[in-house]
Amino acid sequence: MEKSAKIFVAGHRGMVGSAIYRKLIKEGYSNLLVRTSSELDLRNQQDVTDFFEAEKPAYVFLAAAKVGGIVANNTYRADFLYENLSIQNNVIHNAYKTGVKKLMFLGSSCIYPKMAPQPLREDYLLTGLLEATNEPYAIAKIAGIKMADAYRAQYGCNFISVMPTNLYGYNDNYHPQNSHVLPALIRKFHEAKLNGATEVVIWGSGSPMREFLFADDLADACYFLMQEYDEPGFLNVGTGKDLSIKDLALVINKIVGFEGELTFDSSKPDGTPRKLMDVSKLHALGWKHQIELEEGIKLAYRDFLEKQ
């Protein structure tokens, strides 16, 4: 990407988009194109068409999406499917129409079958049933991958897709109901500590295994892949390491400094038993994560405290 190129970062105020934006600024890119959702509704076909025709970006990072944890995904099933399909349909199609040089579509590890073998290899996509609680979101993201591939096949568009593992970091969502597990636990332990609680109750058995990547590491990978990767399909982005939710809770508990008991509520859903990315393709290209989990959680907790 040329330093003077116009680059559209869709979703620049979210955790992923803001990390990509910071990375591009750090690397010396100054012609960055951003819009808030109130300035440009990516779900609106005409608005997105008008925007692309007026601005004609050379590169696009499609990091805008409606996202949330198990509760949000399961509660707002229609919204997650409709809004994510609308966003990616509008952006990908108009990127093609206006001659965008390269587009990166960002998805999620939830695209994989619930009972897929571990670690998750890219070729396991569509080999089994999805996790029921986030099926609408996963279907939208699978459609995005297939759409990028279809425009590549039919029109020769240089559109690539990356599927990050579970993310956390600066500008995360700490909503009590709609957040993902790691930020939800940070908030839960912090509030328990403030309130002098004797116990923190954690959803599920604590046994599911999860992998976590700091969002700034993802941004670094996205920048790297925008230069180095040009293939159909998609590429996993993660650390290649996982831990149980119980062990994650213990790490967060130590960092936050809550001194009460931890209780696991097994009546609540666990979700997928394990989600570990096979990142051998990414490592073979020459990229590996830099920020380890404990260091990353300390950075995220500091960011959470600053925003209180």
203 is in an annotated binding site: yes
109 is in an annotated binding site: yes
166 among annotated binding-site residues? yes
106 annotated ligand-binding residue? yes
Please tell me whether 246 is known to bind a ligand: no
Q: Per the annotation, does 288 bind a ligand? A: no
If you search the block for the tokens 């199609």, which residue do you land on?
93
* 169 labelled ligand-binding: no
Q: Which long-range contacts (CB under 8 A, 24 or more apart) does 136-140 make?
A: 136/73, 136/77, 136/78, 136/80, 136/81, 137/66, 137/67, 137/73, 137/80, 137/81, 137/84, 137/108, 137/110, 138/108, 138/110, 138/111, 139/81, 140/80, 140/81, 140/84, 140/85, 140/88
Residue 82 annotated to the active site: no
113 labeled part of a ligand binding site: no
> Do 251 and 181 touch, CB atoms closer than 8 A?
no
Q: For the chain, how far is it from start to end, CA to CA, in angstroms?
A: 37
Helix (H) or strand (E) holding 218: helix 215-228
164 is in an annotated binding site: yes
169, 19 contact by CB (below 8 A): yes
Q: Binding site annotation covers 165?
A: yes
59, 137, 151, 174: the active-site residue: 137
Binding annotation: 11-17, 106-109, 141, 164-167, 180, 188, 203, 210, 270
Binding site for substrate, residues?
Answer: 188, 203, 210, 270
Specify binding-site residues for NADP(+): 11-17, 106-109, 141, 164-167, 180
For the annotated catalytic residues, the residue numbers are 137
